[in-house]
Amino acid sequence: MAKTNITALFNKKQIAKYPQIQRDLVDMLHGNAIAGILVTILVFTGLTFGFETPLVQDLKQTFWVILVTIALARLVDTAYWFIRLKGTEYAVAPTKLRFSIGVTLTAIMWSVYSIALYENMTPTELAATMIILSAMASGSATVLAPSRLLVAIYSTLLLIPLSIVILFDHQHGFSVLGILGIVFWGALLSSGFRYNAFFENTVALKQSNAHLLTQMSQERTEIAEINAKLVDSNSKLDHANSNLEAEVEKRTRDILRLSNMDPLTNLLNRSGFLKHLNALIDTSNKLEKNFAVLFIDLDGFKQVNDSLGHEVGDIVLASIAQRLERYCEDGHLGRWGGDEFVAIIPYATKDTAVAVANAMRNGVTVPISANDNQVNLDATIGIALFPSHGNDALTLIQHADLTMYDKKREGSGAIGVFNEVLHAQIRLEQKRREQLRCAIENNELSVNYLPIVDARTLKVASVEALLRWQCDGEFISPAEFIPLAERMGLMNDIGRWVLHRACIDASQWPFEEKINLSVNVSVIQLMDDSLIRTLDNILDTTSILPEQLYLEITESVFTRNDKDAIKRVNDIKARGIQVSIDDFGTGYSSLSRLQSMDCDCIKIDRSFVKSSDEGNDTILRATALIANEFGCKTIAEGVETETQIERLRDLGADYFQGFYFARPMNKNDFINWYNKNN
């Protein structure tokens, strides 16, 4: 019997694993949002139009328009939450991300406003501004308390920049006001973190109580079942006194039957079904009969367990088993495990098997009533035929299973029959696996280079090394072989080879100017202990300088293991090697990540470059501004037109990369291209 460790729910790492707890915290944030947004608009309007500052009044009104636009967007997002999301099982991450972006942009506007207009403020306006910022930051300690990060970001951006400016402004003599602002900021952080701990513990306690009630219900059910079985066993033992030998034989048969049966559904379990299928194969071989094996996977069952509990899930599984039995002969249906079932349809052709599978699926889709809950499911079914698709039990089930997973990618409720195309895909993957193991040894891997140019001069500043694989005269896409290498555990070996090859090439370039080299490092490679030893070896054995080498790391690595990833980045930086964040803006809490990681460049994802709508431009401009504040350069990926160049240059991008300048080239072609174009 599984035990739930309730105390673990109060650990922050554990809290993050419970979607409902995170959803409750996000609900708290949205529930308090409207009043805060309206107050923001009101006080910003007061500061803008309440103090006439002729020299900068147009700038103040510009700030007012931007902040009101952000506030209205936040109101729309909050209204969307109230109308469409509140009370539903919505996705937490995008909802919280939208809220966090709105709060962060609001705080940035307050900070930029106070610093930009500081020199033109009268003492009265400065005092009013400081009081309002303090009040707004104070309110955030409770309103944003469900998120410790948002409390820290909001209060810091509102108080610290202006306080520091005041503190070091010896001309006006307001240093005491700056000190008070910093002290007040520290007190707010302490208060906000205490509120955060209180909210998280309260929500976690609520969740733990629900888990405890579910566990108690399951235990009572199991105890009742055990007691019933004990009573039945005692009764059988009493009867054994009259005829011991017959009773022993009967119990032996019962034990054999139970060992092959699933106790929840009373269907054959995996072991029992395999025995039955093997026996049927022997008979069918002798009689030259055919049959079909169906692999049935329930669509949406995991959500039932997660949202309604395992008790309701067990009722649903038992009900589904009864429905599927209507379409099978006795003993021809089994529970393979979890929400997966297997069935045998004797004397079935392809059309017959598909027809039965459709009937089974229709039976599954009928709503199920379980403990006052209506459950709606669907099923994805894969079919394998004997003997054309296999001559043994495991092969038939495996082929039906593979077909099911292949159809599942198309969406729920699909039915498919195993075919040679699918089989060929499996054989191709097996072939690729064998070829990839020998790719380095057979000199099939190569490195191409894609230039990165300076936004002002359009001269080459660095190049990105891109791995290519040519096998049997065919170029294999990285999108195909990189995931395969990761699944096979070859990524570290391939990554080391790419680093060595690219650094050797870069150290041999016949250019007067020094050109930086950027090399992608996968998540697996970054977290492996051998990476640092590899880098030390490269720096010792090649003439490339540490500051010329950039390692590109995808932003997603910091959501998997923040502490280990940041430590590894620090180890890399300690050697003088530069770090770039790739695909920036596509991960979780992108801007906040810049506070915790020491990086030199961020690469703006091509999706932001391709689209030129106002929202993307705002994000690009804000990203460039904040990156500059953190001392980072920005590289815009996927540049393909002159219009994009002018737009990105106006938005503050430092470097460009894309097919407008060049496509990936081998070493010699890059040297020729450089000499001709730079």
456 shares a domain with 399? no
For residue 657, the enclosing domain spans: 449-464+490-677
Calpha distance 638→610 (Å, rounded)? 7
Calpha distance 472→444 (Å, rounded)? 9
Does residue 444 form part of some domain?
Answer: no
Does residue 272 form part of some domain?
Answer: yes
- In this predicted model, what pLDDT tens digit does every residue of 333-376 receive, in sequence order? 999 989 999 999 999 999 999 999 999 999 999 999 998 899 99
505 shares a domain with 412? no
Indicate the number of domains in the chain.
3
* Higher-pLDDT residue of 26, 303: 303
- In this predicted model, what pLDDT tens digit does every residue of 107-163 receive, in sequence order? 888 888 888 888 888 888 888 888 888 888 887 777 787 888 888 888 888 888 888
Does residue 251 form part of some domain?
Answer: no
Single-letter code of the amino acid located at 269: N
Residue 252, pLDDT above cutoff 70: no
Does residue 531 form part of some domain?
Answer: yes
- In this predicted model, what pLDDT tens digit does every residue of 543-594 receive, in sequence order? 899 999 999 988 766 655 567 888 888 899 999 999 998 877 665 545 556 6
Residue 8, pLDDT above cutoff 50: no
302-306 contacts at long range (C-beta below 8 A, 24 or more positions apart): 302/339, 303/89, 304/375, 304/377, 306/19
Nearest to 662 by CA among 670, 651, 654: 670
What average pLDDT does this structure show over 452-470?
Answer: 94
Q: Find the helix or strand (DSSP H, E) in which 469 lies.
A: strand 460-471
| Residue 167 neighbours by CB under 8 Å, 6+ apart | 175, 178, 179, 182
**Whether 532 contacts 571, CB under 8 Å:** yes
pLDDT of res. 244: 61
CATH of the domain at 590: 3.20.20.450
Does residue 475 form part of some domain?
Answer: no
pLDDT over 70 percentage in the chain: 89
Single-letter code of the amino acid located at 120: N
Residue 349 DSSP code: -
Residues in the chain, overall count: 678
140 shares a domain with 75? yes
| End-to-end C-alpha distance for the chain, whole angstroms | 70
Does residue 147 form part of some domain?
Answer: yes
Q: Which residue has the tokens 């931007």?
A: 66
Q: Find the helix or strand (DSSP H, E) in which 550 lies.
A: strand 549-554
308 shares a domain with 164? no
pTM above 0.75, yes or no: no
- In this predicted model, what pLDDT tens digit does every residue of 495-525 receive, in sequence order? 999 999 999 999 999 998 889 999 999 888 8
Q: Can you give the C-alpha Rg of the chain in angstroms?
A: 32
Residue 608, pLDDT above cutoff 70: yes
CATH of the domain at 385: 3.30.70.270
Q: What are phi and psi of 265, to 5 degrees?
A: -105, -10
502 shares a domain with 645? yes
Single-letter code of the amino acid located at 564: D
Does residue 228 form part of some domain?
Answer: no
Q: Which two tokens stand for residue 517?
A: 């080299």
513 shares a domain with 392? no
DSSP 401-432: HHHHHHHHTT-SS-EEE--HHHHHHHHHHHHH
Nearest to 359 by CA among 401, 411, 323, 403: 323
Residue that terminates a domain, selected from 185, 211, 237: 211
541 shares a domain with 414? no
- DSSP, collapsed to helix, strand or coil, labels residue 334 as strand
558 shares a domain with 630? yes
DSSP 354-401: HHHHHHHHHHHHS-EEETTEEE--EEEEEEEEETTT-SSHHHHHHHHH
129 shares a domain with 29? yes
Write the burial class of residue 618 (CB in 10 Å: 0-12 exposed, 13-18 middle, 19+ buried): middle
414 shares a domain with 453? no
405 shares a domain with 329? yes
455 shares a domain with 394? no
Cis peptide bond N-terminal to 387, omega within 30:
yes
Does residue 473 form part of some domain?
Answer: no
